[in-house]
Structure 1
Amino acid sequence: MPRACGLELTPTTLRAVVVDGSPKGWRVTAYAEKEIPPPAEGVDPKEAYAKEVAAFIVEAKLPRGVLIPSLAAAHATIREVSLPFGSDEQLRKTVKFELESHSHAIDVEQVVVDFVRVDQKEKQTYLLAFAAEKKDVKARIDQMTLARIDPPSIDFDATAALNAILNSGGLNGTDAFVALYATRAGCFHYFVSGGLKLLRVLPLGSAEDGFEGKASAEVGRTLLRVSSGQDLPEVLVCGDADDLPGLAARIARETGVKARAIELMPEGLEFEGAEKARRAGGAALGLALKGIGLDRVGIDLRREEFTYERKTDQLKRAVAMLLLMVNIFLGLWAYKAWADRGFVQGRTKDLMAVERKMWKDLFPEEKEPAKPLEAFRSRKAEWQESQGGGGHPVPVSALNYWAMLFNKIQVQNKFFISTLTVSAAPGQAQIKLGGTADPAPEVERIWTAIRTEKAFANAKAPATTLDKGMWRWDMDIPLVTEESPK
């Protein structure tokens, strides 16, 4: 089941309520609280407080998935304002500036503002506006970050307590009432009629002397303000006071209005600290209910630069940024490729012009081919082939000389050829032979036979040397061709 935790933070106490369930049905599963000791001498109070909050979350084993912390409404600016707009978008754009005109102590650039609608008359919208200092909101988020928590919402303790009242079973179906939520540090006073109409934060702690009399007097003032000649609404009292039924009885006696005490926590709590939860856990309960989707007031201070983003939204934004960077890179790459293509095409045209000019210079009488470079390669291959440098292992022009040479070599004794080279060039050609023979006259006899061929008439006398019982010989044969010099 969905699980949420509400964390009420005061300067002296931390209170947490854990709720399981959904708006259709829920139950309180745990409560924890901790007194905040004064900081040690020389220690930064803010840093010490943040560490106490982080330690409390760990010690109480609070769920970190959905945790809603509170801000003190006593430090907020709360004013009734009216604007000539009806849409939320228009109201949010202007409510901050209208609030500044009602409270000159605030700087619109340094506050986060939210509101609830109080009434709508013709083209005028009446609001109850709440402003919190941005530094306070940021400090609360930083405290949660230290505890490795990203709260999806931040609410005031006063509106959180009202959320608990509105979701409790003590209303008995009424939608108009005056409520007093008491705490040891102060009281929250509400008037609700189909929605929140009035909220007062009273510096009146339930442990003060004469608390009941002062609280009854404040309720009387509120009743006078909201009566408008109509029937007075019922008064509900709840929270951390020593005698809530006695307080309700005194209010009823002094104001003449029906008053009763209500329980905010459901019945049947069986966990440790259940009694403390009943007395002081109202605000934390309202925060936890907000976490599971039961928010009947609608105040959220995570706005403007503090707007909450779900992990999936953060991932989507990161992916969107990555895709944007990839698209920019691909665009730049495509532009560079296009520019490079134009450069290459230009250079190719220049080279082709050079090739055509070379062809005309070398072969002025021939028709210019479509691809001069390929024609040059073909002509070169033909010339190399004619000079023995083509694709054949033996030059074509040399094969005839080989045939004539071997036709003249008629071996009678040992005669071995180990090297044979034929070189041919325009106007001259030559054959070089080398090998071994035995006896030496065999070399002389074969040389004489070779010279009988007209092409080999210029054969030079062989050089012979004795090497390991065999005669090593070398023979040069300048060829006589039609192109040979006379």
Structure 2
Amino acid sequence: MALHAGIEIDGSDVSIAVVDSTAKQTVIIDYIEAKIIGDSSEERLASLESVLHGALENHGSKTIEVVSSIPTRMSTLREISVPFTNEDVISKTIRYESEGHLPSASIDDLIIEFIKCSETEDSSRLLISAVQKKIVGAHLEMLREGGVDPVQVEVDATALATSLHVSRPDLRGGRTLLIGMEAGHTTFVLLEEGRVMKIRSTSNHLQPSAIPSLATSATGSASGTVEGFETTPSESAVEFADLMQGSESDEDPGGEEELAIAVVSDEDFERLNAEMTSSPTLPPADPEEVIGRLFTEIERTFAGILMRSPLDRIVVSGGAACDLGISDRLAEEYEVPAQQLRVCDEIETGMPMALIDRCNRSGGVSVGLALQSAGQGLTRFDFRKEEFRYERRFAKLLPGLMLMGLILCFMSVTWLVESHREKQYRKAEYETVRSNEEAVYMARFGESPKSSKPNYMRSAENKISALKGVGSGSTRQKLVQYLPGMDLIKDVTGGVSSANPKVYPTWKSIEINGAKKKNGVSTVIFEVPDAASGERVITALEQRSKYFNIEDDIKPAGDRKKVTLKLKLKSSITETDGRR
């Protein structure tokens, strides 16, 4: 399960909120505030890396998705109208539509994001925010040095609006002015029926941290530059501060002062404003003076809106707002309910009370960023576009995987081609063997087997067995085999002549049956002088004969003896298959 973290880096101040969000509940499980220390940029980067590692590694092996923010004062804000209502069409044409409203910078050097504030049947009113690409690149590089790659980058104003939207659903209706005040700058967000309508960021002359800012000195104007980590106020910044003091004093400004204010463009206003805010040499401001300037800025920025429709409530956030207690002063001044945004009072948390108090005091932006990462953001503000588009781990591995896939595909095709060639070769070889078998079979037997796909070897064996009289299984013999007749006669005469002492019989008849049958009988008749001679002949024949078993019959024939022999083939001969 993934955790979600929001990281706000504003000058030397870092705040991190970690949220565990599921479909059933959202829990704030950690909140960290830290200072970036060091004199050189390398030391400050090392300090930031230590802060990020210490904050995120405390949560073990769980995956943490991070969303970070760029201060609103580092962007250029404009309200424009476009002749489209479909957000996909607006996304494709926003650069072209915005170009005329950002004349001081090349549109190719900017990343532009928008919020749709309202729409009619054929047009939409947009709030656009433009940030230089090098600012976004420097921000991402700074976080990567700390081992963090955020999935999204937005402005702190929209993150603060997300915190209000999620933590106080009861305040979504009507018109709400959300004010985030920290030392050095104040952010205003006007919401109507839960939608962001206007955003503004100004300096408040409160003493910011004296530690050099880790962020670049790029200002809110589109023409700001990213030179280094330390900033110093320019002469124009001091002059602009004097103009601001003169214009907001109790006395009516003179004509020259009014002319000076009138000729300051929006780009110069935001650039000089950011330079004053980032300056470590501004003197501390009087709280009453700061609150007076706050009222003046509200009336200057929202006068036209407030004339059409009054506010329903004011919500304040930030450590400076809490220290100055501006919620009571705002409620008294504008006669509407005003309250401090306490995100941990409405969102479940498992932190100790000390962390809850710190989170309620200054954690509005970082908690909003974490909620954005968890998919609960009020807007879809994201500066990670074009060359800075976020790529998840799999997307980063995708080129290598695609190359590996191409290699495997090539190897597979090669293997298939080789396999096909081998198959064709084996097939041709098989056809040649079959053709040769058929030719041999036809030459030997003169006809083809009856089967459509014959097995020539088996057919030849069956054919030879049939010719030899051997059937398959219990099939009876089809042909009768014969033993050589002369061999049988020699077997009989040789046995008779082997009698000892010699006997010279008188042969009467020799009938030899050479058929290899169990019931086949051969008959031999001869005469001998006496019975003893007949017995010697029979005994010698039984011992000598290789083919026959002998049945004898001796009868008198005058003064001689007639011997009749019935000769049967031995079973060892009749049971063989004829192959010798």
Which TM class, normalised by the smaller chain length? 0.5 to 0.7
* Change in 2 beyond 3 A, CA 1:24/1:74: farther
Deviation at 1:189, TM superposition (A): 0.4
* Residue equivalent to 1:104: 103
* Residue equivalent to 1:457: none
Match of 1:319 among 401, 422, 429: 401
Match of 1:284 among 342, 352, 366: 366
Deviation at 1:200, TM superposition (A): 0.2
* Residue equivalent to 2:159: 160
Q: Larger Cα Rg: Structure 1 or Structure 2?
A: 2
The answer (yes or no) to whether the contact 1:83–1:124 under 8 Å persists in 2 is yes
Q: In structure 2, how many angstroms separate the alpha carbons of the residues matched to 1:33 and 1:232? A: 33
The superposition leaves residues 193-240 of structure 1 with CA deviations (integer Å, 9 ceiling, x where unpaired) of 131110001111556322222212323334422135334332222221
Q: In structure 2, how many angstroms separate the alpha carbons of the residues matched to 1:242 and 1:233? A: 20
* Residue equivalent to 1:262: 341
* Residue equivalent to 1:350: none
Q: In structure 1, how many angstroms separate the alpha carbons of the residues matched to 2:21 and 2:107? A: 38
1:51 aligns with 2:130: no
Q: In structure 1, how many angstroms separate the alpha carbons of the residues matched to 2:104 and 2:360? A: 37
1:213 aligns with 2:213: no
* Residue equivalent to 2:424: none
Deviation at 1:336, TM superposition (A): 12
One-letter identity of the residue aligned with 2:405:
L
Does 258-267 or 274-283 show the bigger shift?
258-267
SS in 1 for 2:130: strand
Match of 2:316 among 237, 262, 266: 237
* Change in 2 beyond 3 A, CA 1:136/1:271: farther
Does 261-270 or 162-171 show the bigger shift?
261-270
Deviation at 1:176, TM superposition (A): 2.3
Q: In structure 2, how many angstroms separate the alpha carbons of the residues matched to 1:159 and 1:2? A: 23
Q: In structure 1, how many angstroms separate the alpha carbons of the residues matched to 2:407 and 2:89? A: 35
The answer (yes or no) to whether the contact 1:170–1:262 under 8 Å persists in 2 is no
Q: In structure 1, how many angstroms separate the alpha carbons of the residues matched to 2:407 and 2:106? A: 38
Q: In structure 2, how many angstroms separate the alpha carbons of the residues matched to 1:110 and 1:329? A: 44
- Structure 2 matches for 1:375-394, cutoff 5 A? none
- Structure 2 matches for 1:310-459, cutoff 5 A? 310-327=392-409
Q: In structure 2, how many angstroms separate the alpha carbons of the residues matched to 1:261 and 1:176? A: 16
The superposition leaves residues 366-401 of structure 1 with CA deviations (integer Å, 9 ceiling, x where unpaired) of xxxxxxxxxxxxxxxxxxxxxxxxxxxxxxxxxxxx
Q: In structure 2, how many angstroms separate the alpha carbons of the residues matched to 1:110 and 1:335? A: 52
SS in 1 for 2:33: strand
SS in 1 for 2:204: coil
The answer (yes or no) to whether the contact 1:223–1:232 under 8 Å persists in 2 is no
1:29 aligns with 2:24: no
SS in 1 for 2:308: coil
* Residue equivalent to 2:493: none
Deviation at 1:129, TM superposition (A): 0.9
Match of 1:299 among 375, 381, 392: 381
Deviation at 1:123, TM superposition (A): 1.4
1:131 aligns with 2:130: yes
One-letter identity of the residue aligned with 2:48:
V
Q: In structure 1, how many angstroms separate the alpha carbons of the residues matched to 2:154 and 2:406? A: 36
Q: In structure 2, how many angstroms separate the alpha carbons of the residues matched to 1:242 and 1:129? A: 27
* Residue equivalent to 2:182: 183
* Change in 2 beyond 3 A, CA 1:49/1:246: closer
The answer (yes or no) to whether the contact 1:170–1:263 under 8 Å persists in 2 is no
Deviation at 1:110, TM superposition (A): 1.5
Q: In structure 1, how many angstroms separate the alpha carbons of the residues matched to 2:119 and 2:169? A: 29
Deviation at 1:188, TM superposition (A): 0.8
The answer (yes or no) to whether the contact 2:178–2:190 under 8 Å persists in 1 is yes
* Change in 2 beyond 3 A, CA 1:143/1:176: same
TM-score normalised to structure 1 length: 0.62
Q: In structure 2, how many angstroms separate the alpha carbons of the residues matched to 1:128 and 1:328? A: 51
SS in 2 for 1:154: strand
SS in 2 for 1:265: helix
Does 108-117 or 274-283 show the bigger shift?
274-283
The answer (yes or no) to whether the contact 1:181–1:237 under 8 Å persists in 2 is yes
* Change in 2 beyond 3 A, CA 1:72/1:120: same
- Identity across the alignment (%): 23
Does 261-270 or 5-14 show the bigger shift?
261-270
Deviation at 1:86, TM superposition (A): 2.5
One-letter identity of the residue aligned with 1:312:
F
* Change in 2 beyond 3 A, CA 1:240/1:205: farther
Q: In structure 1, how many angstroms separate the alpha carbons of the residues matched to 2:361 and 2:367? A: 11
Deviation at 1:289, TM superposition (A): 1.0
* Change in 2 beyond 3 A, CA 1:256/1:65: closer
Q: In structure 1, how many angstroms separate the alpha carbons of the residues matched to 2:387 and 2:331? A: 47
Q: In structure 1, how many angstroms separate the alpha carbons of the residues matched to 2:21 and 2:171? A: 22
What residue ranges of structure 2 are gaps of 5+ in the alignment?
208-284, 421-580
Does 75-84 or 309-318 show the bigger shift?
309-318
* Change in 2 beyond 3 A, CA 1:237/1:65: closer
The answer (yes or no) to whether the contact 2:78–2:129 under 8 Å persists in 1 is yes
CA RMSD of aligned residues (A): 3.2
SS in 2 for 1:60: helix
> How many aligned positions are there?
338
